Structure 1
Amino acid sequence: MTPDWVESLKAVPRALFLPTLMWAHDMTTGESVPVSRTDDPDEWQRQAFTDVPIVTQWDDGEHEGTEPGSLSTSSASMPSVVTSMLRDLDVKPGLRVLEIGTGTGWNCALLAHRLGSENVVSVEVDGAVAAQARTNLSRAGLHPDVIRGNGELGWQRDAPYNRIIATAGVRSVPPAWLAQTRPGGVILAPWGTHYGNEDALVRLTVNEDGSASGPFLRPVAFMKLRDQRLDWERFSDYVSAFPGDAIRSTTRLTPNDLGSQYETARFVTGLVVPDLAHVVNQPDADTTNAWFFDLTSRSWAAVVFRTGEPFATAYQSGGRQLWDEVEQALTWWAREGRPELDQFGLTVLPDGEQRPWLGDPMNTIRTG
């Protein structure tokens, strides 16, 4: 947090924007725990002022009851994440901001308190969430425009903006955001690939030619734009019989080499190998299986790692040799000296093409 946000944080604390029933995320167990202000007001208050994310909606509003639903679809982010992103946004009086993803309205409120409600527009895809956010904002004495709409389209009516901030993860920065940002303006968004669920915060500066470029700052995790979510059901019939006609080979790599959530190896693999999703599971104590699926064809790969064995067995099926591509990506990263996430960046062209780079925007990473 930077000092210029202190007064806004005092004026509009997160507790003003939280519902009576919410689900606090336990950072140790990874579970979401229901907390009711009616049943346990002290615990509700404690969680409201704790640095944890809080789920406020499950399953796009179709969820009922106190137990967690299947998919968290709206939340109040960790205060530390909110304050650090506002710091990176670098707003000043007189600037106009478009927010993608209103959620509870807390982040929007902080911006409106700092810049004035007339300088803030927020777009929320869910009508019920947008309506509640307006109520929350009004209760705090703030009245920025909260639009129900598709965040991928931005909000052309009030463009251009000096800043765009996304509070939902994206797998592709939409061209509309570039077109609606003034040259020299900033787009701050959690960006990632379908290879993993995690994101990296990217800070893009819009150029005179309509492109935008900038570095990745640090790992983050956000719920995804609804139109950019990965539907895992699409892979349900990729493997009709295992191993079937798959080509078999061996590898010296281990599950640790693949990287776990938020590790650079995993992020870089997604950068280098396009249109790839993967999941790792452990069917028993001695076996780890890694599965890889192509988003554009029915190609798949699986690697079976067994404890104590020097080689793992890889199976590959379809037109793409997905495991070979993953191995090549990790080999390239090692050869480059295993650069950390913040040495990478992204350029987005006006037509929406996303070009990752290492060290310098001119050093585009060759993908595929």
Structure 2
Amino acid sequence: MKTSPAAPAAHVDQLLADVTKLLGRQLPPEYERALRTVPRHLFLPDRLWLRDGEGGYRPCDRSTNPDGWLTAAYADTPLVTQFTDGLPSSSASMPSMVLRTLLLAGIGDHAGEARPRRVLELGTGTGFNAALLCAVLGDEAVSTVELDPLLAARGERNLKDAGFAPAVSCGDAAAGWPLGAPYERVVATFSVDRVPQAWVEQTVAGGRIVTPWTSAWCRYGTLALTADRDGTARGRFHAFASFMPMRRPCQGTVGPATAPVQHRGVTSLSPWLVAGGDLDAEFHLGLAVPGASFAWDASGEHAPTRLHIADDEGPSWAAVDYDGRSADRFAVIQAGPRLLWDEITAGYTHWETLGRPRIGQYRLSVNTAGDHAVQVETGRGRSGITIPEGRASRLSP
């Protein structure tokens, strides 16, 4: 029996109520026990960063605001736990999203199948997710890998303080962890735009890989794959979760897009249709237009409102301007070898032609060479999308 400092009962009761409400169902008993067994506050640093409601973050310090800090620790919200170069680089995910991921992976007695004996977690972070796995499956079943040595050491210390002892390793999660392979479940705590081949190779036939998904255009969705005997994997996307993307060793940054203006024109496609929060449309565009990202500019420097689009791996860029008056015609600027707005327009038009499919209608397969292919299931059959090496995706002809 694990012994660890108890979580405040009232806070856990509220967290369980919030999680149940969001999931729309009662948690399986072993998950409720795990949430009561694993004190979330033991896995958080003394300084957290909370969203300030204006697109930024405000610090919350345990020393100066202990009640606010403890309330945040048991709120069903993501908490930023580390900044690097002025940007969030590590976070404690929403407990409901953590639990939903574990449910999707089929971990626990509720799954109606044999309990997995070997589970690999990718991205130790604070250690909270690994502790939940240990609470459900036992320490000996869990291995966890973290890229950042400081985070790995802190996560291992948090786990020890809470009474758990999984195998914690420091390494590049893209390589999985071959020393403990093969695994019956592989669960990532960060998002990817490709499934590393090592994850497939280290998963037993019939085992599951669950990972949040991302693209340059849309960081949203969760992918669940089942490994086959021939070294391939296939599965589908699910419409939940937004996680920080996977970091790689010595990962560089791409400079700003600087190509000179080459094309000016007008479009009737509203920029809000492609980047205004319709996650189904944005998810499709993330697959269909690889490497394209967007940002809104309301500074008024160029126009009352501008949608700026950039190629994350090259000099191309585009801008769509709203003049504050006309909502059916927008000025367009495009620069560089990629006509990004034309690609976005084609991608959105194709999405409409397919009947505006939702995220759950997309399936993904990975072959033995690591090639990715997506099939969109519609009422009229399937449409193919190929995800080439080095790019998030591109529509097949």
Answer whether contact 2:257 2:314 (CA < 8 A) is retained.
Answer: no
Q: Which residue pairs with 1:131 in the alignment?
A: 153
Which residue is equivalent to 1:106?
Answer: 128
Tell me the equivalent position of 1:193: 215
Match of 1:236 in 2: 256
Q: Pick from 321, 334, 343 the counterpart of residue 361 of structure 2.
A: 343
Aligned equivalent of 2:338, options 320, 326, 330: 320
Q: CA deviation at 1:303?
A: 2.0
The equivalent residue for 1:20 is 46
Query: How far is the alpha carbon of 1:261 from its aligned partner?
Result: 4.3
2:244 is matched with 223
Number of matched residues? 352
Question: Are 2:82 and 1:57 equivalent residues in the alignment?
Answer: yes
CA drift at 1:355: 1.7
Deviation, structure 1 residue 270: 1.1
The alignment's C-alpha RMSD in Å is 2.3
Determine whether 1:364 maps to 2:384.
Answer: yes
What's the TM-score, normalizing by structure 1?
A: 0.88
Q: Does 1:203 align with 2:224?
A: yes
Structure 2 CA distance, aligned partners of 1:98 and 1:340?
30
Deviation at 1:262, TM superposition (A): 6.1
Residue 145 of structure 2 aligns to a residue whose secondary structure is: strand
Q: Judging changes above 3 Å, is the alpha-carbon distance between structure 1 residues 330 and 132 closer, same or farther for their aligned structure 2 residues?
A: same
TM-score, normalising length from structure 2? 0.82
Residue aligning to 1:63:
none
Name the residue aligned to 1:287: 304
Deviates more, 1:258-267 or 1:94-103: 258-267
> CA 1:150–1:222 in 2, change beyond 3 Å: closer, same or farther?
same
The 1:70–1:295 alpha-carbon spacing in structure 2 relative to 1, beyond 3 Å, is closer
Counterparts of 2:325 and 2:38, CA distance in 1: 55
Question: Aligned AA for 1:234?
Answer: V
Could you say if the C-alpha distance between residues 127 and 162 of structure 1 is closer, same or farther in structure 2, counting changes exceeding 3 Å? same
Is 1:300 aligned to 2:317, yes or no?
yes
Distance 1:296 1:82 in 2: 31
- Secondary structure of the 2:205 match is strand
1:66 corresponds in structure 2 to none
- Conserved 8 A contact 2:271-2:320: no
Of the structure 1 ranges 126-135 and 83-92, higher mean CA displacement relative to structure 2 is found in 83-92
Provide structure 1 residue ranges, at least 5 long, that are not aligned to the other structure. Answer: 60-68
Matches within 5 A, 1:41-120: 41-59=66-84, 70-92=86-108, 93-120=115-142
State the alpha-carbon separation in 2 of the partners of residues 122 and 262 from structure 1: 34
User: SS at the partner of 2:322?
Assistant: strand
Q: CA deviation at 1:229?
A: 11
Q: How much does 1:318 deviate?
A: 3.1
| Mapped contact 1:255–1:288 kept (Cα < 8 A) | no
Say if 2:116 and 2:185, in contact at 8 Å, map to a contact too.
no
Moved more, 4-13 or 118-127: 4-13
Change (3 A) 1:228 1:253: farther
